A and B are shown apart, each in its own frame.
Chain A
Amino acid sequence: MELIYRTDYTITEDMCHRHVDLGFALKEDAKALKIVYSYSPKVYEGEDALEKAVEAFKEAYGAHPIDLEEVKVEMPLKNHVTLSLEKEEDLVGTAHRHNNNIVVEVSDKVATVGFKPTKITKGEYKITLSVHAILCKVYAHVEVYAL
C-alpha cells in the first residue's frame, strides 16, 4: 500500500456551499484506491447555535408558531462536508453520510457504498469536498493510498 496523496485542508465559513477540488495523479495502474477522510469539529459549539436553528425554523414555518422543543430535537448543529471521487472527469461516487470519519475503497470488482466499482488506472483523479454546512472553521484530513 503506497501513500500517493495527503493533505490537511482548512475550510472556512466563507467556503460554505462550495465544492473544494483536490486533484492528484496516479502514476501507475493499481488494484484499488483507499481514501481515508476525516474532518473536525463535527459539532458546532457556538452559543448562537439555538438562535441559528430557530431562524431556520422561522423561514420554513412561516406564520406557524414554533415549538422550541421541536427545534431542540435538531440540536446540536453540525458541520457537514461530504466527499466525492472523480476519475478523468467522471464521477466515481459520493459518500453523502453524516459520519466525519470515513474510509472509501474502490477497485474494479468492489467499492464502498456510494461508489461504483472502477478500474484504477494511471491518470488524473480528483477528490471533491462539498461544503454543505459549515458553522466554524473545519479541519479536513485526506489520505489516498494505491493498493
Chain B
Amino acid sequence: MSYNLKFELHTHTIHSDGSFTPKELVECAIKYGYNGIAITDHNTDSGADECVKWGNELGLTVIKGIEWTTFWGHIVVLGGKSSIDWRSVTPQNVIEKVKEAKRAGDIVGIAHPYRVGYPVCTGGRNQFPQELFEYLDFYEVVSSELEDPTNLRSAQEYYELKQNGYNLTGTYGRDWHRDNDRAGATYLATYLYSENPTITAEEALEAIKQGKVYVGDRSTGEFILR
C-alpha cells in the first residue's frame, strides 16, 4: 500500500514575522490534516527545536528549516544541518552558499520566484542568477493562494526549466504566517509518496529530493501538478 502524506513546506512563527507560536503552528497543522510541516522562519532557526518537540508530542513530522530572506530573493533551506549566515548570501556567491548547505545534508529550493517584489516585498521576486537553478533541489511552483496571478509565471518558468533538463522538484508553499484562510481562495499542499502512513523528516527530505511528490488540493488531495 502507498500513502500520499500531506506536508506544508513553508511556514513562519513568532520567531520571525509569523503569528503562531511553534506549538500553535503544530496544532494548526494537525487541525488541517497535515502529516508534516517544515518550519522556515525568516533568517532564524531559533524556533526549530521547540517546533520539533511539539511535533513529536502531538504527532506531526517537523522538518527543521530556514528561509534566507535576502535582498535578491528568498531561498528555503530544509534539514537544519547547515548554519549559513543569511547576511553573507549575495547574487555573486549564492551558488557556493547553496552547495555548502547541501554538503551539510540540507536540501534547498527557491520560494515564490515571481512574488511581487520591492518595495512591496523585498526579495519576494527572485533576482538570483539563472545558474542557481542548476544547484537547487526544489522550486516553489505555487505559493499562497492558487489564484494569485504570479503563480502562472512561476508555473511557466518551472515547466521551461524541466523541459531544459533541470532536475527540480515542484512544490507548494503556503508561506503560512497565521491561520487566516481567505474565503473563496484555494490552498494547496505538497503530497509526499510513502510506503508507510508516517514519515520521518529525513525520509520527507529524500522524497522531495527524488521528486516523489505531487502538488494537490489541500482539502481533497486532488492532483494539481507534478
Q: C-beta contact mask, A81-97 vs B, less than 8 Å → 1, else 0? A: 01010000001011011
Contact between A59 and B117, CB atoms less than 8 A apart: yes
Please give the distance in Å from A38's CB to the nearest CB on chain B: 17
Interface centre among A60, A61, A96 (most CB of B within 10 A): A60
Size class of the A contact interface (CB-based, 8 Å): 20 to 34
Q: Is B198 an interface residue (CB 8 A)?
A: no
Complex Cα–Cα for A93 and B17 (A)? 14
Chain B residues lying within 8 Å of A133, measured Cβ to Cβ, are: 118-119, 122
Contact between B87 and A91, CB atoms less than 8 A apart: yes
Chain A residues lying within 8 Å of B69, measured Cβ to Cβ, are: 96, 132
Q: Which residue of A lies closest to B45 (CB)?
A: A116
By secondary structure, the A interface counts as mixed
Residues 14-67 (chain A) with a chain B CB within 8 angstroms = 17, 19, 44, 52-53, 56-57, 59-62, 64
Chain B residues lying within 8 Å of A52, measured Cβ to Cβ, are: 119
Please give the distance in Å from B90's CB to the nearest CB on chain A: 10
Please give the distance in Å from A19's CB to the nearest CB on chain B: 5
Residues of A within 8 A of B (CB): 17, 19, 44, 52-53, 56-57, 59-62, 64, 74, 77, 80, 82, 84, 91, 93-94, 96-98, 111, 113-116, 128, 130, 132-133, 135
Residues of B within 8 A of A (CB): 13-17, 41-44, 46-47, 69, 71-72, 85-87, 114-125, 149-150, 152-153
- Given A44-B119, A60-B117, A114-B16, 8 more A-B residue pairs with CB atoms under 8 Å apart are A53-B119, A53-B120, A56-B121, A57-B116, A60-B150, A77-B119, A96-B16, A128-B87
